[in-house]
Amino acid sequence: MCSARSVPLATAGIVALWFASPAVAQHTKLELVRLCDVSPGPVRAAQLTFGEKHKGLAGKRTRLVEEIGAYSKGKCGQRMPSKSELAQECRAIIQGFGTKVAELNEEITAFCRTAEVGPWADLLNMRPSAQALNDQRARRNRDKVAFEVQRIEEARGAHVNFDTYAVEITGLPTKGPATPELLLAHIRQNLNEFFDHSASTFVSHTTGDATDWAAGGAAPLGSLMVFKIPAGGVFQEQGAVVTSASTPTMWVFSPVKIGLSFPGEHPVSGNREFGIRSIGEGKYEIYTRAADRARDKIVQAIPGPGEDVVFRGANKLWQSWQARVVDYVKANGGSATAAPPVIHRPSWTEVESSGLLRR
């Protein structure tokens, strides 16, 4: 995986291509945009892979560089009268290269705008229904709770956080949960034990939610849980989430607002998925990934620093989760390593114009 970094949607790397042609007595500089990297392995959105398109653009870019490189080795590399037919032909070739470079740059830029964050498009566009999730609660004889699912488009942050924090498991535990599904269920049921409590603790919203969360199997839809985030001294910020999607190998938390305070409004809006998947050769990847955006009042008051506070706190929490998952797997006879986080934080304006966001 890529190392942790924050980048714009289209990575701005330039390759300069120079012509110094004796045939036409001119120097021309063409700037070819670097093709961006594509984040590996969308987790639940296989249809959003961009590998083939990336390969095609890389080939087109290489061929154009080679074609331009061969220019001076051919007939246009010789000296000739500037007004000759050959000189006019060579000038036309240079103009043609300029057109090709401009067209390819436009294609690369458009591709990069979507490819870098495409693997998170499913979470970006996920909009759970509070009514449907309360219906799920009712099936378990839980009280209806008045909550509002926090939509990413209603947040206040100037940037969107797309991240993946993963652990590669090369050997499942030999003690305790010995299948991928059981391992994920154990981590889910005991999620608070996998957090650095200086970053957050994790509790249920009601006693009924605690009972449901402690049950085995897939995460219970509609369960309301609360992150308690230290804010200095005896103060803390609370953020409630609802389980909005669930299978035996994944679940999604969507931030919600419950009342005016305690828990009140969650610091971010969007969706965060947890899951486990096979990556071949008997190996697995357990991960959390998110598309979210700072929402809370501190961001409205001081947009830049406010966002940084939210993002730094989340990064500390999820890296602590990675470390504790690795420790747990190793302590129970398995083998695992934490992968470097993958983080993209384009502006909300860029995401809106990328074509990925559906309203």
User: What domain range is 62 assigned to?
Assistant: 14-116
- Same domain (yes/no): 54, 80: yes
| 203-241 per-position pLDDT tens digit | 999 999 999 999 999 999 999 999 999 887 667 889 999
Q: Does residue 111 sit in the same domain as residue 128?
A: no
pLDDT digits (tens, 9 = 90+) for 115-161: 777 789 899 999 999 999 999 999 999 999 999 999 999 998 989 99
1: in domain: no
Q: With cut-offs at 50, 70 and 90, classify the pLDDT of residue 179.
A: very high
Same domain, 139 and 224: yes
Assess whether pLDDT exceeds 60 at residue 7.
Answer: no
Under the banding of pLDDT at 50, 70 and 90, the label for residue 80 is confident
Query: Residue 13's pLDDT band (boundaries 50, 70, 90)?
Result: very low
209 and 161 within one domain = yes
pLDDT greater than 50 at residue 43: no
Based on the structure, what is the number of domains in the chain?
Answer: 2
Task: Kindly state whether residue 68 falls inside one of the protein's structural domains.
Answer: yes
* Mean pLDDT score, 36-64: 67
pLDDT (mean) for 185-197: 98
Residue 234: the pLDDT is 66
Q: Are 102 and 33 in contact (CB under 8 A)?
A: no
Identify the pLDDT of residue 9.
35
Is residue 196 within 8 Å of 316, Cβ to Cβ?
Answer: yes
Answer yes or no: do 111 and 130 share one domain: no
Reduced 3-state DSSP string for the chain: CCCCCCCCCCCCCEEEEEEEECCCCEEEEEEEECCCCCCCCCCCCHHHCCHHHHHHHHHHHHHHHHHHHCHHHCHHHCCCCCCCHHHHHHHHHHHHHHHHHHHHHHHHHHHHHHHCCHHHHHHHCCCCCHHHHHHHHHHCCCCCCCCEECCHHHCCCCECEEEEEEEEEEECCCCCCCCHHHHHHHHHHCHHHHCCCCCCEEEECCHHHHHHHHCCCCCCCCCEEEEEEECCCCCEEEEEEEEEEEECCEEEEEEEEECCCCCECCCEEEEEEEEEEEEECCEEEEEEEEEEEECCHHHHHCHHHHHHHHHHHHHHHHHHHHHHHHHHHHHCCCEEEECCCEEECCEHHHHHHCCCCCC
Are residue 62 and residue 191 in the same domain, yes or no? no
Query: Are 197 and 278 in a shared domain?
Result: yes
Residue with the bigger pLDDT between 262 and 314: it is: 314
Asked whether residue 57 is domain-assigned, the answer is: yes
Residues 87 and 142 reside in one and the same domain: no
Same domain as 304, residue 207:
yes
Residue after which a domain boundary falls, among 83, 116, 149: 116
